[in-house]
Amino acid sequence: MPSFDIVSKTEMAEVDNALNNIRREIETRYDFKGSNCTLERAEQAITIHADDDLKLKQMHELLATHFTRRKIDAGVLDYQTPEKSAGQSVRQVVVVREGIDKDLAKKLVKEIKGSKIKVQVSIQGDELRVTGKKRDDLQETIAFCKGLKQDLPLQYVNFRD
């Protein structure tokens, strides 16, 4: 029976490459001269240290542009609330999301079943398995899912006949 998986994966090596490019750009940019702006990554979390709110916004723009340059969707970034640290400096944790959480998985299953396409959808951990009798139904499901407005980028992998 034909099937495919709906997943949300992020290539962490590309995230590291993007962060290294950002560090290099911070060292050379004139508006960051003499500032204490840094990026640190631990597992799935990136910690941004910035001198003030303006520098923090510039760091957000750098993250978005360098992630898209490395072909990583900027939608995987989940910005937490910024915290004040010593003086006027600001610290913020940005989580790199991977996998489909339960709420989004249930919503996707409900949307696909509501579309009346003849496929079965099952939640398997942090991914969805879609099976159907015809290959055309699966391709229609992929097109339908791409048309949905999701804040998390989805990939369609493991297509089998």
Strand order in the sheet with 119-124: 119-124, 127-132, 3-7, 155-160
Q: Residue type at 76?
A: V
The token pair at 82 is: 């910024």
Q: Give per-residue pLDDT as tens, 47-67.
A: 988 888 888 888 889 889 998
Q: What integer pLDDT is reported at residue 145 of this predicted model? A: 86
Q: Model confidence at 117, in pLDDT bands (50, 70, 90)? A: confident
- Mean pLDDT on 78-89: 84
154 pLDDT higher than 80: yes
User: Which domains are present in the chain?
Assistant: 3-8+99-160 (3.30.70.860), 12-96 (3.30.70.990)
pTM score of the predicted model: 0.76
State the pLDDT confidence band at 75, using cuts at 50, 70 and 90. Answer: confident
CA distance 120 to 3: 9
Do residues 4 and 137 touch, judged by C-beta distance below 8 A?
no
Predicted pLDDT of residue 149? 82
pLDDT digits (tens, 9 = 90+) for 2-21: 888 888 888 888 889 999 99
**Listed residue (117, 116, 104) closest to 154, CA to CA:** 104
Is the Cα dihedral 142, 146, 147, 153 positive or negative? Answer: positive
Nearest Cα residue to 7 out of 150, 132, 114, 111: 150
Closest Cα partner for 66 from 29, 104, 36, 99? 29
CB atoms within 10 A of CB 8: 21
Q: Which of 132, 115, 127 is nearest to 156 (CA)?
A: 127
Position 111 scores a pLDDT of 86
